[in-house]
Amino acid sequence: MSHSRSDRPGGAFAPHEPLAEALLPHATSSDDGSHDVAHLARVWSNAATILAEEGGAAEVVAAAALLHDCVTVEKNDPMRAQASRLAARKAETVLRDLGWDGERIAAVAHAIEAHSFSAAIPPETLEARILQDADRLDAIGMVGVARCFYIAGRMGSGLYDPADPEAAWRPLDDKRFAIDHFENKLFKLAAGFQTRTGARLAELRQARLRRFYDEFLDEI
C-alpha cells in the first residue's frame, strides 16, 4: 500500500521526509487503525522529542519508527509475541534494498525487535531504548485509551464485566473486557521506561490514563 504526501500530515516525519517516502510503502501490513501511518507519525514525534534531550542516531531511530509495525499480528493471535522479530527481518530486507550498510541495518533491526512489550527483549542500545519509550508513550494517555477500545472492538470484546468491572472476584481477562487491559498491561507500562525524558513524559500520560479509568468506573 503506497502513501502519498496528501494522505498524511505534512512534515510528519521531518526532517526525514525522503526516508519516509521510501519506507512508508513497506510500513503497514493491515487495516488496523491503531497501527496505521498516524501511529507511526506519533511514535516518530515522541522519539524526536526524546532524541532532542537524550541524543542518539536520529536516522536509525526514524527508520525503526517507520518500520516497527511493518508486520502486524493481531493482539489475540498466538503469533503475537513474534511480531517484532518478523518486522525486524522484513526491515532488514527493505533497508538492504535501499543500500544501507550492515551496521545500521542491525541497529534498526534490534530497535524493532526490542520495542515490543510481548517480545520481552531488553533494548541494548540508546536507539532501541528511545523507540521502545516512543512506542509505549502512544499506548498510554488519551491516545492509549482510544487505541485500547479500538482494538477491543476489532477483537469483539465487551467494554467491561457488569457483574465485576474491577475484577475483584475474577481473573483479569482483557480478551473479553476492554477495561481489564488497564490493570493487565497499561498501568504497568509507565514503570518500565528506558530514558529520563521518556519517563518524564510517561508520568503525565499515566495520570491521564488513571483519571480516565477512575471516571469510567464512576460512570458505570
pLDDT digits (tens, 9 = 90+) for 158-175: 999 999 999 999 999 999
Q: Are residues 144 and 73 part of one domain?
A: no
Q: Are residues 82 and 143 part of one domain?
A: no
Tell me how far the alpha carbon of residue 162 is from its chain's centroid: 30
Q: Is 147 part of any domain?
A: yes
* 191 burial level (CB within 10 Å; 0-12, 13-18, 19+): exposed
- Taking CA 182 as the corner, what is the angle to CA 177 and CA 187, rounded to the nearest 5 degrees? 165
- Whose cell is 503469533? That residue is 79
Backbone angles phi, psi at 21, to 5 degrees: -60, -35
Q: Is 131 part of any domain?
A: no
Q: Are residues 105 and 72 part of one domain?
A: yes
pLDDT at 7: 44
Q: Is 213 part of any domain?
A: yes
Q: Are residues 105 and 5 part of one domain?
A: yes
Establish how many alpha carbons lie within 13 A of residue 91's alpha carbon, considering only the half-sphere containing its beta carbon: 32
Q: Is 133 part of any domain?
A: no
pLDDT at 110: 96
**Max CA separation in the chain (angstroms):** 57
Q: Is 134 part of any domain?
A: no
Q: Are residues 168 and 110 part of one domain?
A: no
Structural domain harbouring 47: 1-120
Rounded Cα–Cα distance for residues 129 and 125 (Å):
6
Domain boundary among 89, 120, 151: 120
One-letter amino acid of 49: T
pLDDT at 3: 41
Q: Are residues 115 and 34 part of one domain?
A: yes
Q: Is 130 part of any domain?
A: no
Q: Are residues 61 and 6 part of one domain?
A: yes
pLDDT at 16: 95
Q: Are residues 160 and 109 part of one domain?
A: no
Instruction: Report the sign of the C-alpha dihedral through residues 151, 157, 159, 165, in that order.
Output: negative
**Does this model's pTM top 0.85?**
yes
pLDDT per residue as tens digits for the range 16-49: 999 999 999 999 877 778 788 999 999 999 999 9
pLDDT at 9: 46
Q: Are residues 144 and 214 part of one domain?
A: yes
Q: Are residues 157 and 81 part of one domain?
A: no
Q: Are residues 158 and 91 part of one domain?
A: no
- Whose cell is 502513501? That residue is 3
| Cβ atoms < 10 Å from Cβ of 185 | 16
Domain boundary among 120, 149, 178: 120
Rounded Cα–Cα distance for residues 122 and 116 (Å):
10
> Nearest Cα to 220, choosing from 167, 166, 171?
166
> Which stretches of the chain score pLDDT less than 50?
1-9
Q: Is 129 part of any domain?
A: no
H-assigned helices in 24-140:
37-54, 58-67, 83-97, 102-115, 126-137
Joined grid coordinates for residue 186: 497499561
> Nearest Cα to 101, choosing from 72, 47, 129, 59?
59
Q: Are residues 216 and 112 part of one domain?
A: no
Q: Is 111 part of any domain?
A: yes
